[in-house]
Amino acid sequence: MQQASSLAQVAPLSQSSAPRRWSVDDVLAIYDMPFMDLIWRAQGVHRENFDPNAVQRSALLSVKTGGCSEDCSYCSQSARYDTDTERERLMPLNEVVAAAQAAKDKGASRFCMGAAWKGPKDNDLDRVLDMVREVKALGMQTCVTLGMLKEGQAEKLKDAGLDYYNHNLDTDKEFYGQVIKTHTHDDRLDTLEQVREAGINVCSGGIIGMGESRKNRAGLIVQLANLPKPPESVPINNLVPIPGTPMADNERIDPFEFVRTIAAARITMPTSWVRLSAGRQEMTDELQALCFLAGANSMFYGERLLTTGNPDVARDEALFARLGLKAV
């Protein structure tokens, strides 16, 4: 009876209820649940809101790589660090459209385009708007991640047909200054507010394994879940340590802790797509299956993310077949 009571304390409100305001203690209680109870609860929430055997697949293309002025400690694209990532110009439109078509042919339903900027200049944004229009014309959902937006830029993206804007919070406000110093946590929230006000779906999550505590991870989940409207898409990244960055020697996080984070995101954001993002190449098929069981129902699909590897298409197709999953 005592265990049943603890389960009830972390059960999410039904969709018909007013949105719940989560506290860090609430989410820490979710993390602290016995693992089997946690998976059971997360899978129950997942089944109330989604087909448990369907996974949305997105492709990600770096349309402008390297040379970023920001100091994000995990990122190979920062101009402040000596990494193997070369600085490149914004890709030509025809190459972006060809990559999007290839991704669609391989089964991706959403095409995400990333540019290594602190924020886009207006003339660069105009070229990205053309990319959004052309990819949208292929019948795919569109997503971009361009850094922090200035006033009016979100509206231009909306008019071009953008479906999602990605801008991760990365970590909670308390730990943020240990990861990034060239801008603030509030700067990120300001861009998310502009995106939401423009009527674009929000894609925002974080990175696990940067040296943060479990309390920091719970704080990140709380900040996302307690936004005026939770993100429609929540990418959960498992840090890929990049040689040359300050986090090059970070130890890999315990896999079960990563699964607990997926489950916490699912329980607190029942109707959001929870996405396996960076770090999936290092995951075993068994770990990915646990993540799907814990409520992950979206993934990046293809051989490469922005600058890091990703499981190849053949491996993913084999995994889907073994688990009886279908792509949406």
Binding residues for [4Fe-4S] cluster: 68, 72, 75
Q: Which residues sit in the known binding site?
A: 68, 72, 75, 112, 143, 203, 275
Catalytic position from the list 110, 112, 266, 280: 112
- Degrees, nearest 5: CA angle 21-11-253: 85
- Cα separations (Å) of 206 from 167, 179, 322? 9, 12, 29
Catalytic position from the list 68, 110, 217, 260: 68
Nearest partner of 307 among 106, 38, 13, 60, judged by Cα: 60
Catalytic position from the list 41, 57, 203, 280: 203
Q: Is 291 among the catalytic positions?
A: no
Catalytic position from the list 41, 75, 260, 291: 75
How far apart are the C-alpha atoms of 263 and 45, rounded to whole Å?
A: 10
Return the exposure string of 278-291: e unless at least 16 CB atoms fall within 10 Å of the residue's CB, then b. bbbbebeeebbbbb
272 Cβ partners below 8 Å, 6+ apart? 230, 231, 232, 233, 234, 265
How far apart are the C-alpha atoms of 129 and 171, rounded to whole Å?
A: 29
213 Cβ partners below 8 Å, 6+ apart? 175
Give me the count of residues in the chain: 328
Catalytic position from the list 57, 72, 260, 291: 72
Catalytic position from the list 41, 110, 188, 275: 275
Q: Which residues sit in the known binding site for [2Fe-2S] cluster?
A: 112, 143, 203, 275
Catalytic positions, please? 68, 72, 75, 112, 143, 203, 275
